[in-house]
Amino acid sequence: MTNNIIKVFVGCDPNNCDLEQMMVLDYSIKKHTTVPVEIIWMQLSRNPESFWYSNPEKGEGWDTQKWATPFSGFRWAIPEYCNFEGRAIYMDADMVVLSDLSKLWSHPIEGEAIVAAKTKDAIARLCTCVWDCQKAHKILTPVSQLKADPEGHGKLMKQFKEHPELITPYIDSYNCIDGEDLDIEDIKILHYSDMGTQFSHKYSLPRLEKEGNKHWFDGGIMPHPRQELSKLFDEYYKEAVDAGYNLEDYRVEPFGVIPKKSHKRYKGNKVTRPIKGSILSKIFNR
């Protein structure tokens, strides 16, 4: 790759719910990556000059009504943000990087593909992916249209599902969903994806309550079935603090109420919530 700096775009909450996730992700990236990294935090903003501007009351900017998270649709805007030049990595905030991102950064994106991502079980998982921004120009919806269409995110997910040739598959462990069946040493990027079992809740929920705020996830909270992964997050959290990282460095002016889907009926995934009747489901009373 000719790019001297790895650009990492991270989707995160605009009301300071994800500070712990942001700090651990930032630290984990820099702990393992051997070249310079620039992190762009993608958060809804009330500033009309921001690329991520939204004003639901006036019907301006990004329309998030159909999104499952406060940042679901932002991943599609990254190539245009980069002026359709070079490469860019996208990832959700709920990640712990356990390998050198320079290897993911240089992953081949071949043929008609415009992005490298996980395609396990015929599902396009674009929650950690590498964009070829120039090639994406001819495929992706212009941001001016995308941000005004609440269905835009869903439409693009459907398009990529129906056109797998747009994706170059990479090693599954670059987006390891809640540990799957891998040992820690075999995971390149841990994605603690189940929003009900996220390791950061033990820190963020008490903090938010003390601040008089609530988390954007409104579903049920439960323990993660792999406690060694929870311990790993705790270790990285402590390492980050000991290295001088501070939650306040990630705090922003709160956005306010976010129009989005509710998670009252959120069911997680089959990794964290096994089929009813299995041994694990009995252990966790599910």
Residue ranges per structural domain of the chain: 6-283
Model confidence at 280: pLDDT above 90: no
Mean pLDDT to the nearest integer, 206-214: 96
In this predicted structure, the answer to whether residue 201 has a pLDDT above a threshold of 50 is yes
> What is the pLDDT, as a whole number, of residue 3?
58
The Cα–Cα gap between 131 and 137 comes to: 11
CATH number belonging to the domain at 6-283, selected among 2.60.40, 2.60.290, 3.40.50, 3.90.550 = 3.90.550
Tokens 């992953």 belong to 107
Pick the more confident residue, 272 or 228. 228
**Per-residue pLDDT reduced to its tens digit, 57-93:** 999 999 999 999 999 999 999 999 999 999 999 999 9
Give the mean pLDDT of the chain: 92
The per-residue pLDDT for 275 is 64
pLDDT at 273 (0 to 100)? 86
Which tens digits make up the pLDDT trace of 256-271? 999 888 988 888 888 8
pLDDT digit string, tens, across residues 148-158: 999 999 999 99
Position 276 scores a pLDDT of 58
Q: Identify whether the C-beta of residue 160 lies closer than 8 Å to the C-beta of residue 126.
A: yes
How large is the C-alpha radius of gyration of the chain?
18
pTM of the full predicted structure? Answer: 0.93
41-55, 119-133, 147-161: least confidently modelled range:
119-133
Q: 117 phi and psi, to 5 degrees?
A: -160, 175
